[in-house]
């Protein structure tokens, strides 16, 4: 069975400080993993994806995530937060089927 | 290239009424998906079209929901009659035939049932 746990529903960081959004998954197979971001009144935008290639995945806007199979984690990081990063972030897993399984989302606030 | 579009962006209806949501996928995308996010919960899969055929409708909550994709282009999701628990944000996504990993999402339709 597939499931995704986003460990924090809300994260606040100061502008210019690092961002860490945590995600753990459970999967019986080798999953594909994604991070999506949703800004207010916008659609879900793909930040990055892992599909069994390099375990450190670089995405758009300076974000990256590392697939750690031993820890079943796929945490999202960014070295320095920008005001425009304030949004809701979703960790997503897909196994062998067509469905995406979403976490409950993490709302990121960036404090000036 | 134009992205996935959804109409309307917001809909407020009374319990028992009917609402139809529309999704226009990216041109040339055979795969079309519907998802829903109920308040406070995670986004959940509803169904998947490949062209005009329903590939998987295992996530449809009940028979008050009817999805169509006539001609394999745009899709509609009808809720009839709407209930309070149907309130939420309905997302559509599309992707090319070659990969389920590719899902481009629209902005969603926020449905409020009073």
Say how many C-beta atoms besides its own lie within 10 A of residue A107's C-beta. 15
pLDDT band at B100 (very low <50, low <70, confident <90, very high): confident
Q: Which residue of B has its CA nearest to A105?
A: B42
Say what the pLDDT of residue A53 is: 76
Q: Do A99 and B56 touch (CB under 8 A)?
A: yes
Say what the pLDDT of residue B1 is: 63
Superfamily name with CATH number, domain A3-111 = Immunoglobulins (2.60.40.10)
Residue A81's nearest CA partner among A36, A37, A35, A15 is A15
Q: Do B108 and A43 touch (CB under 8 A)?
A: yes
pLDDT band at A45 (very low <50, low <70, confident <90, very high): very high
Residues of A in contact with B59 (CB under 8 A): 99
Count chain A–chain B contacts defined by CB atoms under 8 A. 52
Name the architecture of domain B5-113.
Sandwich (2.60)
Cis omega (within 30 of 0) on the bond before B8? yes
pLDDT digits (tens, 9 = 90+) for A13-31: 999 999 999 999 987 777 8
pLDDT digits (tens, 9 = 90+) for A68-109: 988 999 999 999 999 999 999 999 998 777 889 999 999 999
Q: How far is B59 from chain A (nearest CA, A)?
A: 9
């Amino acid at each position: 069975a597939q499931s995704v746990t986003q460990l924090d529903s809300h994260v606040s960081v100061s502008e210019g400080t690092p961002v860490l959004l945590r995600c753990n998954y459970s999967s019986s197979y080798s999953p594909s993993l994604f991070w999506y971001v949703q800004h207010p009144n916008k659609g879900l935008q793909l930040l990055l994806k892992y599909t069994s290639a390099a375990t450190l995945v670089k995405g758009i806007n300076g974000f990256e995530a590392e697939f750690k199979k031993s820890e079943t984690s796929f945490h999202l990081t960014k070295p320095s937060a920008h005001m425009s990063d304030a949004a809701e972030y979703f960790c997503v897993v897909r196994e062998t089927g067509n469905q995406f399984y979403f976490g409950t989302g993490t709302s990121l606030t960036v404090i000036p | 290239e134009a992205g996935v579009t959804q109409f309307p962006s917001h809909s407020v209806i009374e319990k028992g009424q009917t609402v139809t949501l529309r999704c226009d996928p990216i041109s040339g995308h055979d795969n079309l998906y519907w998802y829903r996010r109920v308040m406070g919960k995670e986004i959940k899969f509803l169904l998947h079209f490949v062209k005009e055929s329903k590939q998987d409708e295992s996530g449809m909550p009940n028979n008050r929901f009817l999805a169509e994709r006539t001609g394999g282009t745009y899709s509609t999701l009808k809720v009839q009659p709407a209930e309070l628990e149907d309130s939420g944000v309905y997302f559509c996504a599309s992707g090319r035939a070659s990969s389920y990993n590719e899902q481009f999402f629209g902005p969603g339709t926020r449905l409020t049932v009073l």
